[in-house]
Amino acid sequence: MKPRALIFRTAGINCDKESVHAFEMAGADVDLFHINYLKEKEIISNYQILCIPGGFSYGDDLGAGKILSLEFSLWFKDQLHKFIDKGGLVIGICNGFQVMVKMGILPDVDFSQKVTLTENDSARFETRWVYLKVENTSSAWLKGLANIIALPIAHGEGKFYTDKENLVRIESNNRVAFRYVDRCGSPVGYPLNPNGSLGGIAGITDASGRILGLMPHPERFVFKHQHPFWMSEDHVPFGLQMFKNAVKYFE
């Protein structure tokens, strides 16, 4: 049987259909439901994969992802605990990542916020392709990826920020999933680090590696020709590989 993926949507989410398509290409059975529908039915446990896609939930009023994070904590806290405890996979992409850190299921599943994603250093919306160094290769989402991959970003509040103690803990405990780098893997500043993230961090995982949050958009690189230089360079659609990893994890 194919693993089942559940994708949440609400007002302002705009990457839900792309996420559905990516999971279907990877071989999953996918359901896309509005969050209000899920409030009425306790069905999260029927799935193996959960996805909070990108966009601007509720217009990012009160800060990117803040309202949706409060909604998740209020309505789904117990269901999410059970889902994670039974071994499910969770991914939050861009706005979904913002929701997850503000909800407090990254870097730890304790519903206590320890990190944030705040306004880009440039104080403007940034959109471009970036290079990423893959760090936590033990994560179910990241197995088999190349050391350096390319994905697109599009956000106004993507700067990863936390206090020094948490940053040291995240980096020393193999929680960093991706860092912004150049194509050779060296640390970078703006514009290849598009937001000024501490340590160049573009994504993190929980201790198990099953929960992943990232600012870049893997659902926007599932075909080779989506890369701007697809005709002149040999690019693997790394985004699709991540979704295939999630499906393969349950096969």
Q: Which of 18, 51, 155, 217 is catalytic?
A: 217
Q: Which of 126, 157, 219, 235 is catalytic?
A: 219
> Is residue 110 a contact partner of residue 82, using CB atoms and an 8 Å limit?
no
Active site residue 227: no
Active site residue 219: yes
d(CA 66, CA 28): 29
Q: Which of 94, 126, 155, 227 is catalytic?
A: 94
H-helix or E-strand containing 239?
helix 238-250
Give whole-number Cα distances, 220 to 7, 57, 95, 106, 114, in Å. 16, 18, 14, 23, 29
d(CA 119, CA 125): 9
Sequence-distant (6+) residues with CB within 8 A of 196 are: 120, 121, 122, 159, 190
Sequence-distant (6+) residues with CB within 8 A of 164 are: none
> Is residue 6 a contact partner of residue 50, using CB atoms and an 8 Å limit?
yes
CA diameter of the chain: 50
| Closest CA relative to residue 92, chosen from 187, 7, 176 | 7
CA 14 to chain centre: 15
**The amino acid at 96:** G
Q: Which residues of 210-226 are buried (b: 16+ CB within 10 A; e: fewer)?
A: bbbbbbbbbbbbbeeee
Backbone angles phi, psi at 106, to 5 degrees: -135, 140
Q: Which residues are known to be catalytic?
A: 94, 217, 219
